[in-house]
């Protein structure tokens, strides 16, 4: 018998099951769910951006089915079926307010049924946008006392922002007026990528499980005088280079973030 391939969602689910009282483990599972590509079972082939999920009326409420591997969906359906490939965050946004839950990876190690309240919570959490402020850092030093969950979360989250910046530095900072905190400074970000990078940093903080946590985000060029100070004091995160792929027309629902799928 062939051993089933384990996925990051399987590992996150196992960690959550092994520590049922751990808020951090639970948040990590939801983060993996949001960041991963999922395959949603449909009632019919997509028509442009319009999709019709197959809804299963369970005793505790209706759910749609998602799998993190195409093979898992095919195994469940016992053959070829219409489906849409979407990110977990796109699924949450699509179903928010619809009172529809999620059946995830049924029949596999990370099988779980999430009620619609969890879908709404995830959509609301992912929809939070960082606020802009103006402040002037006066002192920079090495970050101290940060939980491993935040550093691991940042590393994983920034690995998904390929090509949006060259690297980032995490430093402890003291601002004019005495306010202290931590600053994630991106260097040589692509114009227009600031919102996406700030959102990624904010999600890493949210899903780290730190209560009332706060981390500022700033953007600099490598030629800025402060860049040398950041390099001396900061913990560096290298963002991956963008993959070189042949251009092709995107037609699958959810493949273009600016044109999300629409429920029929």
Residue 263 lies in a domain: no
Residue 2 lies in a domain: no
Instruction: Dihedral sign for Cα 240, 216, 205, 87, please.
Output: negative
Q: Are residues 14 and 116 in the same domain?
A: yes
Q: Are residues 46 and 81 in the same domain?
A: yes
Specify the pLDDT at position 80: 85
Q: Are residues 52 and 84 in the same domain?
A: yes
Q: Are residues 28 and 123 in the same domain?
A: yes
Q: Are residues 122 and 181 in the same domain?
A: no
How many Å apart are CA 114 and CA 205, to the nearest integer? Answer: 23
Q: Are residues 144 and 122 in the same domain?
A: no
Residue 247 lies in a domain: no
Specify the pLDDT at position 83: 93
Residue 253 lies in a domain: no
Of 93, 117, 116, residue with least CA distance to 263: 93
Q: For residue 109, give the CATH number of its domain.
A: 3.40.1350.90
Specify the pLDDT at position 211: 59
Of 1, 26, 8, residue with least CA distance to 109: 8
Q: Are residues 20 and 112 in the same domain?
A: yes
Specify the pLDDT at position 245: 47
Residue 64 lies in a domain: yes
DSSP 3-state of 22: coil
Q: How many helices (H) and strands (E) does the chain have?
A: 8, 13
Q: How far apart are the first and last CA of the chain?
A: 40
Q: For residue 216, give the CATH number of its domain.
A: 3.30.429
Residue 182 lies in a domain: yes
Which residues are CB-neighbours of 243 under 8 A, at least 6 positions away?
A: 162
Specify the pLDDT at position 1: 38
User: Count of CB atoms within 10 A of residue 135's CB?
Assistant: 14
53 touches 83 (CB < 8 A): no
127, 153, 188 - which closes a domain: 127
When divided into structural domains, the chain yields a total of 2
Q: Are residues 123 and 141 in the same domain?
A: no
Q: Are residues 68 and 15 in the same domain?
A: yes
Q: Are residues 122 and 16 in the same domain?
A: yes
- 37 phi, psi to nearest 5 deg: -90, 130
How many Å apart are CA 16 and CA 217, to the nearest integer? Answer: 30
Residue 243 lies in a domain: no
Q: Are residues 101 and 165 in the same domain?
A: no
- 239 phi, psi to nearest 5 deg: -85, 140
Residue 246 lies in a domain: no
Q: Are residues 95 and 175 in the same domain?
A: no
How many Å apart are CA 210 and CA 179, to the nearest integer? Answer: 19
Name the E strands within 3-108. Answer: 37-41, 50-51, 55-58, 61-67, 83-87, 101-104
Note down the domain range covering 186: 137-238
Which residues are CB-neighbours of 30 under 8 A, at least 6 positions away?
A: 118, 122, 125, 207
Which residues make beta-bridge pairs with 102? 64, 114
Instruction: Dihedral sign for Cα 55, 56, 62, 68, please.
Output: negative
Q: What tens-digit pLDDT sequence spans the chain (264 residues)?
A: 356 788 999 999 999 999 999 988 999 999 999 999 999 999 988 887 788 899 999 988 999 999 999 999 999 988 889 999 999 999 999 999 999 999 999 999 999 999 999 999 999 988 877 666 677 888 999 998 888 888 988 998 898 899 999 999 999 999 888 888 889 999 999 999 999 999 899 888 888 877 546 788 999 999 999 999 999 999 999 999 876 545 445 455 555 555 656 655
């Amino acid at each position: 018998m062939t051993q089933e391939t384990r996925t990051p969602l399987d590992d996150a689910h196992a960690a959550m099951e092994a520590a049922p009282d751990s808020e951090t483990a639970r948040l990590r599972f939801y983060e993996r769910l949001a960041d991963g590509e999922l395959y949603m079972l449909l009632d019919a082939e997509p028509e442009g951006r319009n999709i019709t999920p197959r809804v299963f009326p369970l005793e505790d409420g209706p759910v749609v089915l998602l799998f993190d591997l195409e093979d898992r969906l095919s195994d469940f359906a016992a053959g070829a079926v219409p489906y849409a490939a979407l990110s977990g965050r796109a699924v949450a946004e699509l179903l928010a307010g619809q009172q529809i839950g999620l059946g995830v990876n049924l029949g596999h190690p990370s099988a779980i049924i999430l009620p619609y309240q969890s879908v709404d919570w995830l959509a609301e959490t992912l929809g939070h946008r960082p606020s802009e402020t103006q402040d002037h850092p006066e002192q920079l030093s090495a970050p101290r006392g940060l939980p491993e969950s935040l550093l691991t979360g940042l590393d994983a989250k920034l690995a998904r922002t390929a090509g949006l910046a060259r690297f980032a530095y995490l430093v402890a900072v003291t601002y004019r007026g005495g306010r202290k905190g931590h600053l994630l400074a991106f260097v040589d970000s692509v114009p227009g990528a600031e919102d996406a990078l700030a959102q990624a940093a904010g999600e890493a903080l949210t899903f780290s499980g730190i209560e009332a946590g706060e981390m500022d985000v700033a953007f600099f060029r490598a030629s800025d005088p402060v860049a040398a100070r950041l390099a001396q004091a900061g913990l560096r995160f290298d963002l991956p280079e963008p993959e070189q792929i042949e251009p092709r027309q995107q037609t699958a629902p959810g493949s273009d973030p600016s044109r999300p799928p629409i429920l029929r």
